[in-house]
Amino acid sequence: MKPTSSSYAMLVALILLVTSCINNEKKTYDNAADIPVSREMIAELTSPPNVPTPVGLRKAKKLIVNMEILEKESTMTDGTTYNYWTFGGSVPGSFIRTRVGDEVEFTLSNHPDNKLPHNIDLHAVTGPGGGATSSFVAPGHEKKFNFKTLNPGLYVYHCATAPVGMHIANGMYGLILVEPAGGLPQVDKEYYIMQGDFYTKGENGEPGLQAFDMQKAVDEDADYVVFNGKVGALTGDNAITANVGETVRLYVGNGGPNLVSSFHVIGEIFDKVMVEGGSSINKHVQTTLVPAGGAAIVEFRVDVPGTFILVDHSIFRAFNKGALGMLKVEGEENKKIYSGVVQEGIYHPEGGTIQEMPDDDSKKVAPKENKTLAEKMESGKKIYMQTCFACHQAEGQGIPNAFPPLAKSDYLNADVNRAISIVLKGKTGEITVNGQKYNSVMTRQAISNDEIADVLTYVYNSWGNNKTNVTKSQVDQIKSGH
């Protein structure tokens, strides 16, 4: 049957309508300000290291963000607290996730128990002060302002109330992500990590409630440099996790107030870095610079299991000031990618072949029998300075948050057999020494039973320990499991 001209015209009109609808759906806007918003939604806010659900394919919306400012005392490190000023109760503040074209209705509430006025400057805002001038709010009040997200990227927000440096130094910063239309590519795991430097009246580790030190802040002489507001926020049980084969995306920010971060993950290479949180992608990066008041998005696939350490590679900050986190990866080993130790030998710099480690002392020159304590101390000190001091330090003081002390060590003095066993077999996992928790790795030491006796005797007879004289036969016994 031939269609009539009127039904033909209707068909054409229908096709045009459908096509224009599809075109409308896929329409790209030269100016993000022109993107229309459909409906309203309340923004999901998360505290670190978590991030809200990806925007995916959702259209631009009127996005309601309700942010509460809380001033509260919280832990900086074991035994030390600090009066943090926070967006949403955490440092860094709640993570905000938007997409380009969203019309954000932002309400900033200052809790009535707070002492000070605050405001917010969001680097994702195009407008005076990034919102600061419209959001200045006294305790017990709230302020509302609107902005449209025009540029995709990862942006810092922070308080900008005078003295600005002090408000930031007390923890008033966080991240707001603006995803492009259609969202960022899907990944398996996403985490929120933000570095900050802190300045306290007492030195690093001094116990009690520590006050902010303005002079140290001006001098940029940080006592703490940490991820997510405190020492250990991402270590031990707080470590972030992934499984072998997964792709991990880290939203990394730096609140400062002063220090620039050289962000690095030990044992990983960033497959992709969205440099400075913008749209330009750099590949195969070892360490990425995160400026104060800036951010970066890093992505990598985890290929082998293990604990990967996140650091600011200005490395004293990591091992002495707290800028250290952990990513624990579980799954199958892949010996092609990483073998682990395949052989351990004796190294003769003067030549000769590499020999296998002897299983026992029988192949070695017999150690001198019945050494005096002085002889054992002399031998033990030599071994200590070759083998142990890099981690436990010359005076047995250890390294805070990394390697436990041997000086006046309750853990050491409590159980000599345990100490022998650790030197023989190595030790991983959490231990508590003198009230401080440590979660590091001590490798099995490639020294003879006689040397173990000497070095432990040296340690036990130094730095205020309990003067145990460890004998080779004790070590032999532990080694043979009796």
By the criterion CB under 5 A, which residues form the site for Cu ion?
118, 159, 161, 167, 172
Q: For residue 220, what are its two tokens? A: 């940029």
Identity of the residue, 196 or 404, whose beta carbon is nearer to Cu ion in the bound complex: 196
Identity of the residue, 171 or 396, whose beta carbon is nearer to Cu ion in the bound complex: 171
Angle between helices 449-460 and 416-425 (to 10 degrees): 130
Do the strands 306-312 and 189-198 form a parallel or antiparallel pair, or are they unpaired?
A: unpaired
Identity of the residue, 169 or 470, whose beta carbon is nearer to Cu ion in the bound complex: 169
CB 57, min distance to Cu ion, A = 36
CB 85, min distance to Cu ion, A = 6
Q: Which residues contact 416 (CB under 8 A, 6 or more apart)?
A: 456, 460, 468, 470, 474
Residue where the block lists tokens 């019309």:
103
Q: For residue 451, what are its two tokens? A: 């040397």
Q: Which residues contact 60 (CB under 8 A, 6 or more apart)?
A: 35, 36, 37, 38, 99, 100, 101, 102, 103, 181
| 3-state SS, residue 26 | helix
Nearest to 67 by CA among 99, 41, 90: 90
CB 160, min distance to Cu ion, A = 8
Q: For residue 339, what are its two tokens? A: 């073998």
Identity of the residue, 293 or 400, whose beta carbon is nearer to Cu ion in the bound complex: 293
Count Cβ atoms within 10 A of the Cβ of residue 357 and give its class: 0-12 exposed, 13-18 middle, 19 or more buried.
Answer: exposed
Identity of the residue, 99 or 167, whose beta carbon is nearer to Cu ion in the bound complex: 167
Beta bridge partners of 98: 178
CB 20, min distance to Cu ion, A = 49
Q: Which residues contact 398 (CB under 8 A, 6 or more apart)?
A: 391, 392, 404, 405, 406, 407, 433
CB 154, min distance to Cu ion, A = 22
CB 199, min distance to Cu ion, A = 16
Separation of alpha carbons 299 and 297, rounded Å: 7
Q: For residue 236, what are its two tokens? A: 């031990």
CB 210, min distance to Cu ion, A = 19
| 3-state SS, residue 309 | strand
Identity of the residue, 69 or 422, whose beta carbon is nearer to Cu ion in the bound complex: 69
Identity of the residue, 172 or 290, whose beta carbon is nearer to Cu ion in the bound complex: 172
Angle between helices 472-480 and 416-425 (to 10 degrees): 70
CB 110, min distance to Cu ion, A = 9
Identity of the residue, 143 or 189, whose beta carbon is nearer to Cu ion in the bound complex: 143
- The answer to whether the beta carbons of residues 104 and 191 sit under 8 Å apart is no
Q: Which residues are annotated as part of the binding site for Cu cation?
A: 118, 123, 158-159, 167, 172, 313
